[in-house]
Chain A
Amino acid sequence: MPNSFVVLLILFFVALGIYYLLSLRIQNIWLLLVSYTFYFVWQWQSAVVLMGLTLANFVLGLIIERSKRRLLWKSIGITLNILTLAFFKYRLFVFLRMLNLSAGLGNQPASDTLAILVPVGLSFTVLQTISYLVDVGNSRLKAERNLIDFALYLAYFPKLLAGPIERANKFLEKLRTPRVVNNKSITDSFTLLLIGLFRKLVIANLLSRFASETLFKQPSTFTSPELWMGLISYSFLIYNDFAGYTGIARGISGLFGIELSTNFDLPYFSASVADFWNRWHMSFSFWLRDYIYFPISRWLATKVDRRHPINTILPPLVTMIISGMWHMASPNMLLWGAIHGTYLSVRRLPLPGKPSLPNQRPFWEQVIRASAVFLLVTLAWVPFRTDISNSLRFWKGLIIWRSGPLSLIPLAIILPSLVLDALQSSNEVVFARWPHHARAAAIALTLLAIGLVLLARTTGTPFIYQGF
């Protein structure tokens, strides 16, 4: 555990203590100050980019609201945000092409040219600014007139790195409402924080050994059982890593009396791939649904009949391809998006049989469906993790059997993840309602497990979704 972490922790509690003493309006200014300090310390260049985006979108929101040419200004605003994202996030792509070209001309560039800054959390910020401008443009939301609140909406530090992607109308309302931090909210926040840390530091950290980079970069050198176990490990690794991060973010935010959106709802127990997307990275899925999927569907409905196959296939396919490209502008992410788009399209095709609600189905059918969805989603994680040629090799290695010993250790690590899911299925802070001594034992066990893992692996790994 680095010393800087301890310093950060102390500063956090000092900031929290001061926050409690302030009035509502000053609290927002204080939170903004703390958020920007955090951002400046992390990567000052990113803070400058965020400031620019904040000012531009604040002004654009006001212009859109007052303008008679809303569509034009809305389009300008969306384009500006997309260009910002493209410039910072996808510049590497463009640069590489340019470099290839210049190398072809015998003009070898210095490798330092590739050291491009990608502002932390930019992808998440841009989604929020776009939704804000669209909502203002469609009169679903009044343009924000308080620059402090608007800036805080974008910069609020618990959600800055990797969401949840908050909607302006809900979040800004929270910023205007007096907050209460009482025994219940403190207990709930610490519970979320502790479960989040356990998921990230214990489960995800331990699973990372079995879903190593080598496994995905050189799949041909591994046996089929190793590939299967590695892939299942990765599936639970990415889930626990991201769900863990969200838990930590929500827990920290809860201490400030601001509730952040839920991002996961037992995704690996989904009855269909569509259901999976309603439970996985929910704030992002719902954003895609509202700002990509619905507009495409509505537009197509004006062109072709609602039941036309194009109207069934195109909206999910385009939506999921955009989802893939949002994660990273690379062919493998395109493939990942296309796979999920195909899953969703097939799901929407009229199939024989009587439709029924998930909870009305017999238990065995629910298990089979959940297993099938897990399998489909897990197979699709391959191109999420590695390039296309290695993805093909990986899938080949899964199917064309090369026997070898099977290590069951990953399953032992996955088990706590499933137990946590089962316990959290009724209430995500269920532990907070346990009897006193049981809670103490659970806290002790969790802290010990975190401590032991940290001790064994003193160099931490960054959150996977922070990279997006």
Chain B
Amino acid sequence: METSIDPQYAARDDATNLKHHTLQLSWPLGLPVIEALILIIIVLGVCELLARTQSIAALLPMQTVGSGSPGLELKLAGLREFVDEHGSVDCIFIGDSTVLRGIDPQMFEVAYAESTNIKIACYNFGVLALSPVESAALSEILVEKYHPHLLIFGTNLRDYYYDHTNERVMHAITDIPWIQYKLGNFSPVGWLTDHSIATQYYLGSITHLKSAWDEDLSKYATLRANGFAPREGIIRYEEVNAARCDSAKKAIGFQIPESVESALNDLVALRRYDVQVVFVELPLHPRLIELCNHGEPDYDLYLSGINDYAHAANVPFVQSTPAPWIDLDGWSDSYHLNEAGAEIFSQWLGRQIAHAITETASLNN
């Protein structure tokens, strides 16, 4: 095989090799680009200034970090306001809708104060459909920013439904640049979102255009300043049916999925910030436990799984079932307490947590 160089090529190359310069630029070059960049900086500066002007900001839609989750955006803004008003936050509840609907921080604070004589300020950071992975990531951001003394992770059987088949759902919120940036993975968009108010307003306006936004937002209509969003209505005992067992199927041969276990580990590891981490079982309607799978034996398997994990990790686990003290009229559906149920549960939880913390403290001493 002959691979000699084309003589024509070689001649041309030799003739030009030493003399020819590919880059032949002359001044001025790129002035419009420099001018454009200056123009952009001016425009962005003006936008930032306007966004920070209160009278203008009042006309703008909600600030967001681009999560696409109205719940998360409301809670981030709500917690900011809560801390502005109270000076700090002592405890944060985090978890999915069962936490959002089931824990009233006000009732919890009262019961806790009665048991310990310590007055604390708590915020409910429950968000609809928040996965344990998302809870862990958000907890790290919140703990780092607000330094609460107590972080209460509310868990229920549905948390263990997440596995590799619904990986995307599990990471829906954690994948956004702002969360990643706050977790230490730098990105220009994450940085900009964190530092620029104009960007947050811009992301807010874009998010409002999403078709599901208003519908999702309406689910937080009852949201209070402490993050609690009670739900009205009562589900009758006979109305609870096995159709809602889908997410409860994980109780069969219960095992904590690998990704969820990793999230739980991340939650436990937050103790490095001097925060007391507590796991709490959010109860399910007793009728649902009876109907699903093999009933209580399966559910007990799930509880002992979490118990074993908590014991190994040396984290207090507050088990709430069986919970006969929650009246059957205290449920709005198979998974969620209504306002009356939440009131009873929150008071009970306040006492239990006070007890659990005292017990852990005495054990550690």
**Shortest beta-carbon distance from A206 to chain B in Å:** 11
Check B189 for interface membership: any CB of A closer than 8 A: yes
Interface string of B1-17 (1 = CB under 8 A from A): 11111101100110011
On whether the beta carbons of A443 and B187 are closer than 8 Å, the reply is: no
Q: Return chain A residues, CB-CB under 8 Å to B13.
A: 23-25, 176
A104 to B94, CA, bound (A): 49
Q: A183 and B26 in contact (CB under 8 A), knowing A62-B2, A441-B39? A: yes
CB contact between A177 and one of B12, B31, B36 (< 8 Å): that residue = B12
Q: Return chain B residues, CB-CB under 8 Å to A452.
A: 202
**Shortest beta-carbon distance from A409 to chain B in Å:** 9
On whether the beta carbons of B40 and A448 are closer than 8 Å, the reply is: yes
CB contact between B29 and one of A19, A183, A444 (< 8 Å): that residue = A183
Check B221 for interface membership: any CB of A closer than 8 A: no
On whether the beta carbons of A147 and B3 are closer than 8 Å, the reply is: yes
Check A309 for interface membership: any CB of B closer than 8 A: no
Q: Return chain B residues, CB-CB under 8 Å to A300.
A: none
Q: Return chain A residues, CB-CB under 8 Å to B59.
A: none
Check A56 for interface membership: any CB of B closer than 8 A: no
Q: Return chain A residues, CB-CB under 8 Å to B4.
A: 145
8 A Cβ contacts from B99-140 to A: none
**Shortest beta-carbon distance from B48 to chain A in Å:** 14
Q: Return chain B residues, CB-CB under 8 Å to A1.
A: 187-189
**What count of chain B residues pass the 8 Å CB interface test?**
44
Chain A interface mostly: helix
Check A179 for interface membership: any CB of B closer than 8 A: yes
Q: Return chain B residues, CB-CB under 8 Å to A318.
A: none
CB contact between A23 and one of B6, B18, B32, B176 (< 8 Å): that residue = B18
CB contact between B203 and one of A59, A183, A444, A455 (< 8 Å): that residue = A455
**Shortest beta-carbon distance from A456 to chain B in Å:** 4
On whether the beta carbons of B9 and A146 are closer than 8 Å, the reply is: yes
A178 to B13, CA, bound (A): 8
On whether the beta carbons of A458 and B66 are closer than 8 Å, the reply is: yes
Q: Return chain B residues, CB-CB under 8 Å to A454.
A: 189
On whether the beta carbons of A180 and B203 are closer than 8 Å, the reply is: no
Q: Return chain B residues, CB-CB under 8 Å to A170.
A: none
Interface string of A147-180 (1 = CB under 8 A from B): 1010000000000000000000000000011111
On whether the beta carbons of B189 and A176 are closer than 8 Å, the reply is: no
Could you say which interface size class chain A belongs to?
Answer: 35 or more
On whether the beta carbons of B177 and A440 are closer than 8 Å, the reply is: no
On whether the beta carbons of A444 and B22 are closer than 8 Å, the reply is: no
Q: Return chain B residues, CB-CB under 8 Å to A176.
A: 6, 8-9, 12-13
Q: Return chain B residues, CB-CB under 8 Å to A183.
A: 25-26, 29
Closest A residue by C-beta to B190: A458
On whether the beta carbons of B187 and A24 are closer than 8 Å, the reply is: no
A63 to B39, CA, bound (A): 60
Interface string of A423-461 (1 = CB under 8 A from B): 000000000000011011101100110001011101100
How many pairs of residues, A versus B, come closer than 8 Å at their CB atoms? 112
Check B334 for interface membership: any CB of A closer than 8 A: no
Q: Return chain A residues, CB-CB under 8 Å to B206.
A: 456
A167 to B188, CA, bound (A): 40
Check B58 for interface membership: any CB of A closer than 8 A: no
**Shortest beta-carbon distance from A172 to chain B in Å:** 9
Closest B residue by C-beta to A438: B32
Closest A residue by C-beta to B8: A176
A135 to B97, CA, bound (A): 68
On whether the beta carbons of A59 and B1 are closer than 8 Å, the reply is: yes
CB contact between B5 and one of A146, A177, A182, A186 (< 8 Å): that residue = A146
A6 to B188, CA, bound (A): 10
A58 to B16, CA, bound (A): 27
8 A Cβ contacts from B168-211 to A: 175-177, 186-189, 192, 199, 202-203, 206
On whether the beta carbons of A20 and B1 are closer than 8 Å, the reply is: no
Interface string of A129-146 (1 = CB under 8 A from B): 000000000000000011
Closest B residue by C-beta to A448: B40
**Shortest beta-carbon distance from B121 to chain A in Å:** 35
A6 to B187, CA, bound (A): 10
Check A111 for interface membership: any CB of B closer than 8 A: no
Q: Return chain B residues, CB-CB under 8 Å to A441.
A: 36, 39
On whether the beta carbons of B36 and A440 are closer than 8 Å, the reply is: yes
Check B323 for interface membership: any CB of A closer than 8 A: no
On whether the beta carbons of B9 and A3 are closer than 8 Å, the reply is: no
Check A405 for interface membership: any CB of B closer than 8 A: no
8 A Cβ contacts from A212-261 to B: 257
For the complex with contacts A24-B20, A441-B39, 10 further pairs of A-B residues with Cβ separation under 8 Å are: A1-B189, A176-B12, A178-B20, A178-B22, A181-B23, A182-B25, A440-B31, A440-B32, A447-B36, A456-B203
Enumerate 15 A-B pairs (CB-CB under 8 Å) in ascending A order: A24-B16, A24-B20, A145-B2, A145-B4, A146-B3, A146-B9, A149-B9, A176-B9, A178-B20, A180-B22, A181-B23, A186-B29, A441-B36, A443-B32, A455-B202
